[in-house]
Structure 1
């Protein structure tokens, strides 16, 4: 049976997510998934939920404890309640971006005449991706801020599998969907 922890944040949810990522890297986790159970109006809300085996969540908490601040509330590790609904949680990756365009120009692999059409595709894709909640996180390697849009695809059947070090499903693995416990 999966267990869960909710981390309630009063501000800077992206910074907390970055620290969750660091802890998942440190413990080399492939079995903890995350979700945003308080999404409202395509905003991420103020809760990040981690779901996994109890023993793995304990390892996570030991690593994550150095990042806990007074502006966070963590629940105890609890068994996840039975749920008829599950979700595959993945990152929405842009196919078109200004960074990619600059790379294409630098390499000389895009014609000057194709640049306006590429920019139009960037704009159309950005409009399409606005439907997904996002977290602003900072890359530790480049120190740049970037947006990580997150998609929760609802499924009726659970599927076991792996998660990456950002807590995203790698192979269609699902996590149970349930309300925030009060």
Structure 2
């Protein structure tokens, strides 16, 4: 598996340190009281688990299953909500967690839907943000790392369901993406 990684972009120790900082920022920025965390599956699961353990406040945790890559290395351009049930967010402060901000379509679509469902505010946090022109005008409130426009795996990010369990973020070799 690691033979298919061209290079490590963000190692495990750097991720840990950055999550400590993001957790402190979230704790400072959010108003007192409960927060509903929405984790976008499956990619944000590892990021969310490690980040949320660092936030010492009452959190309700929900997951949303959305898809835009559909097994490829580029976004399909469509964001599909795969769950029949949508979390109850009316009147709530929401923290939306995603693995990567790429085209912006997923983050924009989910944030819009959460606000339509009555969330008081939606703040977004992503592990990675690609430095590129986005299809949607959206930026995350909290960003772990800015990266180039490369296809990355590890720390929750996958290619065809593989590589999520790597403890770092790495660039996938093009020869492995077949």
* TM-score range relative to shorter protein: under 0.3
Report which of the two has the higher share of helix.
1
Larger RCO: Structure 1 or Structure 2 (Cα < 8 Å, ≥ 6 residues apart)? Answer: 1
Report which of the two has the higher share of strand.
2
